[in-house]
Chains A and B, each alone.
Chain A
Amino acid sequence: MGRVRRIARRSFLIGSAAVVGGVAFGVWQVSRPVENPLRPERGATLNPFVIVDGDGVTVIAPRAEMGQGIHTTLAALVAEELDVEMSDLRVLHGPPAQAYYNSALLRGELRYHPEGLGGWRRVMADALGAGSRVLRLQVTGGSTSTLDGYVRMRTAGATAREALKEAAAQAHGLPRDRLATDRGHVILPDGTRIPYGDLAEAAAAVEVPEVALRPASEWRLLGRSQPRVDAVAKSTGTARYAIDVRLPGMRFATVRMCPHPRGGMARFDAARAEAMSGVDKVIDLGTGIAVVAHTTWQAMEAARAVEITWTPGPGPQTTADAFAEIEAAFDTRRNARPRDDGDVDAALEGADALSVEYRVPFLHHTTMEPMGAAALFDPAAGDGPHLTLWSGNQAPILHRDKAAEAVDLPPEAVTLHTPMMGGGFGRRAEFDFTVLAARVAQAAPGTPVQVTWSREEDMRHGFYRPGAIARMRGAVTDGRVEAFDAKVAAPSVMRQSSRRFSGFAPPGPDRAHLEGIADQPYGFASCRVEGYLCETALPVGFWRAVGNSFNGFFHECFVDELAHAAGADPLAFRLAHLDDAPSRAVLEAVAEMSDWTGATPDGIGRGVAITRSFGTPVAQVVEVADDGGGVRITRAWVACDVGRALDPAIIAQQMEGGLIQGLSAAAYEEITFDDGQVVQGNFPDYTPMRLPQGPRVAVRILESGGHMGGAGEPATPPAMPALANAVFDLTGRRLRELPLARHIRFAV
C-alpha cells in the first residue's frame, strides 16, 4: 500500500495557491514493477494534491487540463473520499515537481494485451530517462491520467478527511471513529457541524494512520457524471489560458522563425519594422526573430515587415520528396517485427492474395489556442536572475528544464505556471514555444512579455503526425483470414522526440510505430507485422493516438478489403475473427445501436471499424450520404469499453471528440511541403471539420471491469477507416489514400 505523508507549514506556496494557516496533503503510491525512488528519509520534496485552508478545499491536479475533463475527474476522486461538494472545490495545475510523475505511464495495469500497449510508455520512459530519473515523467499523454490518479487522488482525499476528523476529535475529547463527515464539515455526535477550514490548522499537527479506501459500492460521485469544474469559466470568457496572462507593464511579442525545418537565417533587416508604431525592439533569435511591441497586432505587423533571408534546411523540398524518404525505408533494414505467427509466406503462396498500399499524410494539431507563452525574466531577484513562465504545457518538468537551459539558469531559478490549455492533442508536450518565450523575456529583462505565435507561425512550425505508408498483403479462404502481412514505414516519432527531450534516441525496435497494427485483438491463421523507419529533417511528434492514428486506418481498411474478398459482411467478418470478449461486445453494441443490416439503400453508405488502443476497444459505424451535393457524413455510432467509467459524460465527450478529430483528419486534413517548407498556413488552407459537416453522434459506454482504459485518444483511430469504409460502401471506390477529399467531393 502507499505511503502517506503530510506537509504542514504555516505558509506553503504551491503554484498560485498560498496556504496560510492551512494544511496540505500529499500522497504517492509505490508502484511495481517500477520502484519509486522518492524516499522521504532522503529529504525529497513532497507535493500536495489537496490543500485545505480557510478558503476551502483546493485540489492540485497532477495532469494537464487540455479540454479532456481530467480536472473534473481528478477532483471527483478526491471529493469522493473527502466528503466535499464538487462545487466547493477549486482545481489548480500542479507545478513542475517529481511527485506529479505519471505513474500510469509506467505501470503495468494498462497492459491489456500481453504484447500490446506497453510500447510508447516504455519508449517514453527511456526517452525521459528511466530508473533514477523516472519521476521526471510528469507528462500528460497516452490516455493515462485517470488511471494515474485513480488511487492516489482518492488516498489524498481519505487522508485529509481522517486528519480533519482527528483534529476535531482531539479538540472535543472524542474518539475519531465517533465523528462523521459531510459536505465539507466534520459532524460531532451531537450534530454540531465544524467547517473543514476551521480545522485545517489543527489538522496539520495530527498523526493519521493509513486509511482504507471506500469500496465502489459506496461511491456517490464516481461512476456518475459530474458537472465539469471548468464549465462556468469556459462559458463566460473567464477561463484563463496562457495567451490571456496580463501583468502590469506587459509587452506583447511574436516570433518569426525559419520556415525551413532545420534551416537558418542568413541575415535580416529590421529597420522598417523598428520604425513602426508601438514597436519596442526586434530580437535576433539566431534562426529567426522576435518583435516586442505594445500590442500583439503591432508585433505581428512588424514581424512581417522584417526583411529576412532564410537558409534552406536539409529536408525534403516537396511532399513527393517526403514520401520518397518514407518509401525508401522499405529497402532499409527492418526495425521491428513484433508479430510473426504461423507461416505467412506459405499461406500467401499460391493463394489469390490481395496486395495493396495505403498512404496517409502529415497532419497538424491545430489547437485553437496557438502556441505561445508569457514570461518574465527578472535579472535581479534576490539570489540572482529568476525566470517565471506561464505556459500551457503537457510536461512541466521538461518545459521548465529546457527553458532554464536556454537562458542559462539552473532549474531552481525558473518558476513555471500551467494555465488552462486551448487544446493540446500532443502538441504541448513539445517545449519549443516555452523556450522561445523564455529567450524573448531574457532579451527584455524586467519586462513581462506575452509571446503569441501567429496562426501561420503555429501551422508552419508544428511537430506533425508523420506521413506513413503501409504495404499490406492478405489471403482469405472460406471466409477466414489465412494470411495477414503488414509492413509499415514512417518517420519515427519516438526517436525524434527522444532526441529532443533527452539528447539521444533509444536503439532497438520502435514499438509505438506499430501500435494499432501489431496488437489488435484479431485471431488470424497467420500474421506478420514489420516496421520500417526513416530519418527525416521534417519535425514529427505526438498527435492524438500517435501510431494508432495511422495504423488503425491501415488495419481496419484492409480487414474491410479482406471481408469484401471473402464475400462477407464486414461487421460479421470482424466478429468472426475477434478473439477478445470486450472487443466483440463493443462491436455487437455498435451493430445494435446502428441497426446494422449489412445493406444500405442507394445514396447511403455505411462503414464499420474497431480498434483497441490505450486499453480501450472502440467500435464505430459511420454513415455517409450523397444527395447530389457531395458526400455528407450524416451519422456515427460509437461503443467503447473503458473497463470502469468514472465519469460517463466526460468519457462520452472524449469519444465524440476523438471521433470528430479522426473524421476531420480522414476527410480533409493534410500538411504538404513545397520549397522545403509547409505549404498550409491558416484555416483557409488547412480546414478542420466545421459544425455543418459534423455527424449526429451516439455513444454507448460498456464497463467490463477488470481494467481501466484510456478515453482521450482511443476514439480517433477507428474513425478514419470507418469513414473510408463507408465511402467504399457508398461509391464502390476503395480509397487507400487520405485525405479522402483528394478523391471525392464532400458536401460543405
Chain B
Amino acid sequence: MPVTLRVNGQRHDLDLPPGMPLLWVLRDVLDLTGTKYGCGVASCGACTVHVGGQAVQSCQLPVGDVWDEVTTIEGLGTPDAPAPIQAAWIAHQVAQCGYCQSGQIMAAAALLAEVPDPSDAEIEAALALNLCRCGTYGAIRAAVRSAADQMREA
C-alpha cells in the first residue's frame, strides 16, 4: 500500500502493508529508534509521538490513518540543540534506564503546547498513561513544572 508520510519535516513515500502501526514504520523502516516499543496495546506510552501536535500512542495507530505531520523525539530536539522540555529533562536528571523517557517527553511536550501553565492534576492526567519502571515520577513532575516556567518566560 503506497503511503506518504511527513516525519520530522521530511517527506517519505513508502510502500507498506496496510494496518502496520506507525511505531514499526518509524523504528523498522525509517530507523527512527528513539520511539520505543513497550507493550503494543497502547497501555505504556513508550511509543508516544505527535501527530499534528497531538500526543498519540503510535503502536496502535495504523500508518494509513496518520492524519497529519508526525514528530518524534528526534524531531523535537537534538543533543546539541535540545528542545526546552528536553533541556528541563537533562537539568532535572530525570532519566534512569531512560527507555520510557522519549514517550514521557513527547507526552509532556504536547501538554505544554496546549496548556502553558498546567496544574498538578493536568500534569498527572497528561502523563497517566506513560509507565516508568525506574520510579522517575517525582523528577518528571519537577521537570514538566520547570519547563513550563521556562517556556512561559521565554
Q: Are A235 and B99 in contact (CB under 8 A)?
A: no
Q: Kindly state whether residue A67 has any CB partner on chain B within 8 Å.
A: yes
Known contacts A278-B17, A422-B98, A454-B40: A236-B34 contact under CB 8 Å: yes
Task: Report A667-685 residues with CB < 8 Å from chain B CB.
Answer: 682-684
Give Cα A235–Cα B85 distance, bound, in whole angstroms.
9
Interface centre among B36, B94, B133, B135 (most CB of A within 10 A): B135
Q: Which residues of A contact B44 (CB under 8 A)?
A: 368, 455, 683
Q: Are A246 and B33 in contact (CB under 8 A)?
A: yes
Q: Kindly state whether residue A231 has any CB partner on chain B within 8 Å.
A: yes
Task: Report B64-99 residues with CB < 8 Å from chain A CB.
Answer: 72-74, 76-79, 82, 86, 89-90, 93-99
Q: Are A67 and B96 in contact (CB under 8 A)?
A: yes
Q: Are B128 and A692 in contact (CB under 8 A)?
A: yes
Q: Kindly state whether residue B27 has any CB partner on chain A within 8 Å.
A: yes
Give Cα A298–Cα B93 distance, bound, in whole angstroms.
36
Task: Report A124-183 residues with CB < 8 Å from chain B CB.
Answer: none
Give Cα A394–Cα B113 distance, bound, in whole angstroms.
40
Considering only CB atoms, which chain B residue lies closest to A748 in the complex?
B128
Q: Which residues of B contact A227 (CB under 8 A)?
A: 90, 93
Q: Are A240 and B98 in contact (CB under 8 A)?
A: no
Q: Are A235 and B131 in contact (CB under 8 A)?
A: no
Q: Are B73 and A368 in contact (CB under 8 A)?
A: no
Known contacts A235-B105, A236-B73, A691-B127: A368-B46 contact under CB 8 Å: yes
Give Cα A295–Cα B94 distance, bound, in whole angstroms.
31
Q: Which residues of B contact A649 (CB under 8 A)?
A: 93
Give Cα A676–Cα B39 distance, bound, in whole angstroms.
23
Q: Among the listed A232, A278, A422, A660, which residue makes an inter-chain contact with B36, where contact means beta carbons less than 8 Å apart?
A: A422
Q: Are A237 and B74 in contact (CB under 8 A)?
A: yes
Q: Are A297 and B28 in contact (CB under 8 A)?
A: yes
Give Cα A240–Cα B138 distance, bound, in whole angstroms.
25
Q: Are B39 and A683 in contact (CB under 8 A)?
A: yes
A542 to chain B, nearest CB (A): 16
Q: Kindly state whether residue A452 has any CB partner on chain B within 8 Å.
A: yes
Q: Kindly state whether residue A284 has any CB partner on chain B within 8 Å.
A: no
Q: Are B99 and A691 in contact (CB under 8 A)?
A: no
Q: Which residues of A contact B134 (CB under 8 A)?
A: 67, 423, 653, 657, 660
A37 to chain B, nearest CB (A): 34
Considering only CB atoms, which chain B residue lies closest to A294 in the complex?
B28
Task: Report A269-284 residues with CB < 8 Å from chain B CB.
Answer: 277-278
| Interface size range on A against B | 35 or more
B51 to chain A, nearest CB (A): 17
Known contacts A688-B131, A690-B128: A236-B97 contact under CB 8 Å: no
Q: Which residues of A contact B72 (CB under 8 A)?
A: 237
Q: Render A452-474 as a binary contact track against B, CB cut-off 8 A, 1 for contact.
A: 10110000000000000000000
Q: Kindly state whether residue A107 has any CB partner on chain B within 8 Å.
A: no
Q: Are B40 and A66 in contact (CB under 8 A)?
A: no
Q: Kindly state whether residue A300 has any CB partner on chain B within 8 Å.
A: yes
Considering only CB atoms, which chain B residue lies closest to A246 in the complex?
B31
Known contacts A295-B29, A682-B41: A694-B97 contact under CB 8 Å: no
Q: Are A683 and B41 in contact (CB under 8 A)?
A: yes
Q: Are B135 and A661 in contact (CB under 8 A)?
A: yes
Q: Are B133 and A366 in contact (CB under 8 A)?
A: yes
Q: Are A235 and B82 in contact (CB under 8 A)?
A: yes
Q: Kindly state whether residue A48 has any CB partner on chain B within 8 Å.
A: no
Considering only CB atoms, which chain B residue lies closest to A650 in the complex?
B93
Give Cα A161–Cα B147 distance, bound, in whole angstroms.
40
Q: Are B97 and A295 in contact (CB under 8 A)?
A: no
Q: Are A297 and B82 in contact (CB under 8 A)?
A: no
Give Cα A682–Cα B40 distance, bound, in whole angstroms.
9
Q: Are B93 and A423 in contact (CB under 8 A)?
A: no
Q: Render B118-130 as a binary contact track against A, CB cut-off 8 A, 1 for contact.
A: 0000001101111
Q: Are B90 and A683 in contact (CB under 8 A)?
A: no
Task: Report A286-334 residues with CB < 8 Å from chain B CB.
Answer: 294-298, 300
Q: Render A417-432 as a binary contact track against B, CB cut-off 8 A, 1 for contact.
A: 0001111110000000
Q: Are A297 and B24 in contact (CB under 8 A)?
A: yes
Give Cα A20–Cα B27 distance, bound, in whole angstroms.
33
Give Cα A455–Cα B23 distance, bound, in whole angstroms.
15
Known contacts A423-B133, A657-B96: A232-B128 contact under CB 8 Å: no
Considering only CB atoms, which chain B residue lies closest to A277 in the complex?
B17
Considering only CB atoms, which chain B residue lies closest to A233 in the complex?
B79
Give Cα A232–Cα B88 distance, bound, in whole angstroms.
11
Q: Which residues of A contact B136 (CB under 8 A)?
A: 653, 657
Q: Kindly state whether residue B140 has any CB partner on chain A within 8 Å.
A: yes
Q: Render A204-241 as a binary contact track against B, CB cut-off 8 A, 1 for contact.
A: 00000000000000000000000110111111111111
Q: Which residues of A contact B74 (CB under 8 A)?
A: 236-238
Q: What are 9 A-B contacts defined by CB distance under 8 Å? A: A232-B79, A235-B82, A235-B105, A297-B21, A368-B133, A424-B97, A455-B44, A661-B133, A661-B135
Which 5 residue pairs of A and B lie closest in terms of their CB atoms, listed nearest first? Answer: A237-B34, A67-B97, A234-B98, A660-B135, A422-B99
Taking A231-B90, A294-B28 as given, write out 19 further A-B residue pairs in contact, using a Cβ cutoff of 8 Å, ordered by the A residue number.
A227-B93, A228-B95, A231-B94, A236-B78, A236-B79, A240-B33, A246-B31, A298-B20, A367-B99, A368-B100, A422-B36, A423-B97, A423-B99, A423-B133, A423-B134, A653-B139, A657-B134, A658-B135, A683-B131
Instruction: Mark A residues whose CB is within 8 Å of B.
Output: 66-69, 227-228, 230-241, 243-244, 246, 252, 277-278, 294-298, 300, 366-370, 420-425, 452, 454-455, 649, 653, 656-661, 682-684, 687-692, 694, 696-697
